[in-house]
Structure 1
Amino acid sequence: MFIISLTYTAGLEALEPHRPAHRAWLDQGIADGWMLLAGPRNPRDGGIILARGTRAELQEQAATDPFFQNGLSTFDLIEFNAVRAAAGVTLESLLA
C-alpha cells in the first residue's frame, strides 16, 4: 500500500484552470480501483492519496495527474505495510 503525497509547486491560482481535469483524474483513479482515498492537505499546499498497486504502476499513474503534467506539483511515493486497522475497516477490503 502507498501514500502518494502531492506537493504544489505553484500557487492555488495557477492550479485553478487545471482543477477540473485533476478532479476527473481522481475520479478515474477511484473508479479504476488503484486509488482508495484522496484529499487536500491542510494547509492547502498539496494532497494525499492512499493507493494500492506496485511502485512502478503507481509511479506511472501519479505521473498522469494534470497538476504534475503541467509542472504545478511533484509527488512522493511512500510505501507501507498496513498491519492494523480501526474497528469497521478491514485490510482485506482496502487491499482487494
Structure 2
Amino acid sequence: MIRWTCSLLVTPLCLAQTVDERVDWIEAKLEAAMAEHHVPGLAIVVVRDGVPILQRGMGVADLDTGRAVTEDTLFAIGSHTKAMTSFLVAQQVDEGHM
C-alpha cells in the first residue's frame, strides 16, 4: 500500500507552478505519509526531462543507530521490484508506448 501511495503522490506534480513549489509539496506529503504510516525512512528521486529535480533521503535507515537515510542509502526491497515493474509496464501500455 505504501509503495502505491508514494507512486501516486507524484501524480499531481503537473499542477504546481514552479519546481520549488513541486519539491516543497512532495516533501510535505512524504513527511505526512511517513508519520501516518510509521515509516522510519525513505529515499526519493524525481526526474523531469531527464534531470533530477528532487533527490533526497528522509528519516533514518537504522532505528538502533539513528543512521540517517541519504541519497546513496541502499534498501533491501526484495520482490517489490516485480510489482513496480508491472505497474510501469502497464503505464507504458496505457500511454501507447508499448
TM over 0.5, yes or no? no
Larger helix share, 1 or 2: 2
Larger strand share, 1 or 2: 1
Higher RCO structure (Cα 8 Å, ≥6 apart): 1
TM-score, length-scaled by structure 2: 0.28
